[in-house]
């Protein structure tokens, strides 16, 4: 195609899109939409988002209110930026907002909507959700693999000791290996990377990069999603990157499934979740295709690893910055667990201060600051405003958890607010208290929430109980960099580098493996 013809087609597409935008605007019903900033021609409010959309949208909400209307290209977008608005969306109107809007990430990475996270709401989604709830995330399934998570955390403590001998440790890197291996043993019956003791593993680094790239690409507001006439141009190069990344993930996941089938044919049996998924029949409620199995594995290895490791990294960073809180938590762990063993999952219900620390970490550093979008199946009314059919709903979880009308000193890390007598005593993170919804709420609440909570609590408790933490020379706690990186998940802009020092007798770490 000649350059002049390409230019002509691009211009024609842009002109058609602009004309469509004008017609929609002129023909829009006169019902009152939520307030919001004036959109630009064609691209709407996309230029308002900036490099940190959750922060930019929170700033706009201070001007326009807790329910706000934006235009992304040709798409109506409604933002919920308060607990009361979120409660209406996920209680009174939850069924109406139970599907996802079309997006390039689901199309190009998540097997064209065949996964659990992006599948449209309906019978097939309910089947996938039920299978996950019964076979992957039920209390029995989690308890059956409790020993696996504890063994991998014990491996992590040894890796920290080993790595600290040669210098400062990149904590997030080791946490990611631990979470991926713990999930790998549960999902596919083996560790994904090495032996878990922290040795150099280029595949582990590559996998971490792939997961982070998924989150970064998924966090981009792709113009093609909001101006369909421009989708084929891929102006930001997002679709092309997604397709390449999908090929890498598909090769990784296909290899795992094929290996399982080959071993099963040879008489080898595994007691893992993948074997269960492969063996499901119509009598179990539905049989999964290989594509659906790979799509579920993709969900688990992306949504279930980096979110956990980054949350724990944030929690340790906050504790280092607040030595009094760290000392209080260590005192609780010493009293409940003692100096002769490591923390186990059975200890977690008896550690209220640890639970408060985790809640406060989720509040200030939610793993998904802007919830995954939903779409209005029909028009509805919220706070007296008209929400048009087809509108995209975004919930600013980050802004809600820092709302000064809900939280005293919202920017201060203060776990005591969740303890008896505190301002938020009894507030939970499981989707019923809308001022704190790091896992979302309603029908599309994170399916792996229970597993995520166990892992974050176990990892944080083990690291705080087993080690004292020092920063590299020249870095003081109050000056520790706490800037956020860009992406769907809330990464640290600068990885946490630390010197761990053993608090327990050496034999305790060895005996736990």
Q: What CATH code is carried by the domain that includes residue 374?
A: 1.10.630.10
- Percent of the chain predicted with pLDDT > 90: 65
Indicate the number of domains in the chain: 1
446 annotated binding-site participant? yes
Q: Is pLDDT at 493 greater than 80 in this prediction? A: yes
Q: Say if 1 falls within a structural domain.
A: no
Question: Where residue 281 falls among pLDDT bands split at 50, 70, 90?
Answer: low
For residues 462-481, give the mean pLDDT.
94
* Contact criterion met (CB below 8 Å) for 193 and 305: no
Q: Is pLDDT at 42 greater than 60 in this prediction? A: yes
For residues 448-468, give the mean pLDDT.
96
Note the pLDDT of residue 473. Answer: 87
Cα torsion at 137, 143, 146, 147 (round to 10°)?
-140
Q: Say if 221 falls within a structural domain.
A: yes
- The pLDDT tens digits for 285-344 are 668 889 999 999 999 888 888 899 999 999 999 999 999 999 999 999 999 999 999 999
Note the pLDDT of residue 510. Answer: 83
For residues 25-41, give the mean pLDDT.
80
Q: Note the Cα 91 to chain centre separation in Å.
A: 22
Decide: residue 165, CB within 10 A, 0-12 exposed, 13-18 middle, 19+ buried: exposed
Q: Say if 384 falls within a structural domain.
A: yes
Number of H helices, E strands in the chain: 19, 9
Mean pLDDT of the chain: 89
Point out the least confidently predicted range of 59-73, 286-300, 391-405: 286-300
- The pLDDT tens digits for 87-114 are 999 999 999 999 999 999 999 999 999 9
Q: Is pLDDT at 226 greater than 60 in this prediction? A: yes
Note the pLDDT of residue 241. Answer: 95
Note the pLDDT of residue 61. Answer: 97
Number of other CB atoms surrounding residue 30 within 10 Å: 6
Greater pLDDT, 359 or 202: 359
Q: Say if 60 falls within a structural domain.
A: yes
For residues 424-452, give the mean pLDDT.
95
Which stretches of 266-348 are DSSP H helices? 273-279, 290-303, 306-321, 323-336
Question: Where residue 81 falls among pLDDT bands split at 50, 70, 90?
Answer: very high
Q: Say if 19 falls within a structural domain.
A: no
Q: How far apart are the first and last CA of the chain?
A: 62
Per the structure, the complete domain to which residue 391 belongs is given by 31-511
User: CA–CA separation, 106 vs 119, rounded Å?
Assistant: 8
Note the pLDDT of residue 5. Answer: 42
Cα torsion at 270, 271, 273, 276 (round to 10°)?
80
Q: Say if 24 falls within a structural domain.
A: no
Q: Say if 154 falls within a structural domain.
A: yes
- The partner residues of 76 in beta bridges, in order of sequence, read 71
- The pLDDT tens digits for 410-421 are 999 999 999 999
Q: Say if 257 falls within a structural domain.
A: yes
Note the pLDDT of residue 15. Answer: 56
- The pLDDT tens digits for 130-175 are 888 888 889 998 999 999 999 999 999 999 999 888 889 999 999 9
Question: Where residue 271 falls among pLDDT bands split at 50, 70, 90?
Answer: confident
Note the pLDDT of residue 9. Answer: 47
Backbone φ and ψ for 267, nearest 5 degrees, come out as 95, -5
Decide: residue 187, CB within 10 A, 0-12 exposed, 13-18 middle, 19+ buried: buried
For residues 397-410, give the mean pLDDT.
97
């Amino acid at each position: 195609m000649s350059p002049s013809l390409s230019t002509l087609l691009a211009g024609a597409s842009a002109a058609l899109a602009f004309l469509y935008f004008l017609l929609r605007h002129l023909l829009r019903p006169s019902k009152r939409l939520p307030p919001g900033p004036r959109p630009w021609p064609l691209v709407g409010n996309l230029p308002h988002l900036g490099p940190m959309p959750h922060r930019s949208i929170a700033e706009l909400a201070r001007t326009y209110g807790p329910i706000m209307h934006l235009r992304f290209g040709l798409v109506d977008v409604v933002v919920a930026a308060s607990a009361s608005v979120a409660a209406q969306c996920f209680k009174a109107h939850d069924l109406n907002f139970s599907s996802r809007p079309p997006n390039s990430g689901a199309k190009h990475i998540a097997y064209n909507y065949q996964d659990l996270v992006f599948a449209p709401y309906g019978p097939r989604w309910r089947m996938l959700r039920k299978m996950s709830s019964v076979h992957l995330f039920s209390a029995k399934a989690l308890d059956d693999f409790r020993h696996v998570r504890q063994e991998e955390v014990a491996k992590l403590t040894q890796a920290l000791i080993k790595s600290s001998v040669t210098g400062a440790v990149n904590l997030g890197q080791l946490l990611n290996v631990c979470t991926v291996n713990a999930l790998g043993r549960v999902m596919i019956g083996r560790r994904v990377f090495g032996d878990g003791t922290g040795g150099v593993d280029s595949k582990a680094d590559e996998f971490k990069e792939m997961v982070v790239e998924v989150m970064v690409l998924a966090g981009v507001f792709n113009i093609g999603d909001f101006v369909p006439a421009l989708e084929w141009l891929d102006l930001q190069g997002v679709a092309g990157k997604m397709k390449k990344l999908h090929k890498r993930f598909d090769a990784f996941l296909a290899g795992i499934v094929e290996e399982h089938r080959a071993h099963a044919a040879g008489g080898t049996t595994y007691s893992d979740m993948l074997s269960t998924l492969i063996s499901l029949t119509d009598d179990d409620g539905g049989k999964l295709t290989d594509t659906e199995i790979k799509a579920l594995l993709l969900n688990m290895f992306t949504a279930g690893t980096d979110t956990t490791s980054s949350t724990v990294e944030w929690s340790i960073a906050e504790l280092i910055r607040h030595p009094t809180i760290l000392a209080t938590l260590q005192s609780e762990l010493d009293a409940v667990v003692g100096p002769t063993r490591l923390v186990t999952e059975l200890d977690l219900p008896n550690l209220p201060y640890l639970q408060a620390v985790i809640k406060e970490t989720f509040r200030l550093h939610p793993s998904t600051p802007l919830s995954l979008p939903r779409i209005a199946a029909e028009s509805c009314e919220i706070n007296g405003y008209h929400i048009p059919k087809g509108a995209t709903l975004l919930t600013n979880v980050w802004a809600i958890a820092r709302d000064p009308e809900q939280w005293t000193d919202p920017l201060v890390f203060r776990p005591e607010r969740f303890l008896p007598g505190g301002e938020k005593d009894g507030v939970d993170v499981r989707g019923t208290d809308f001022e704190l919804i790091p896992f979302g709420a309603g029908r599309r609440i994170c399916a792996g929430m229970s597993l995520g909570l166990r892992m974050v609590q176990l990892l944080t408790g083990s690291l705080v109980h087993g080690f004292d933490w020092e920063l590299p020379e020249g870095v003081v706690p109050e000056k520790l960099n706490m800037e956020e990186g860009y992406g769907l998940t809330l990464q640290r802009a600068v990885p946490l580098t630390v010197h761990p020092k053993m608090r327990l007798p050496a034999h305790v770490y060895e005996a736990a493996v």
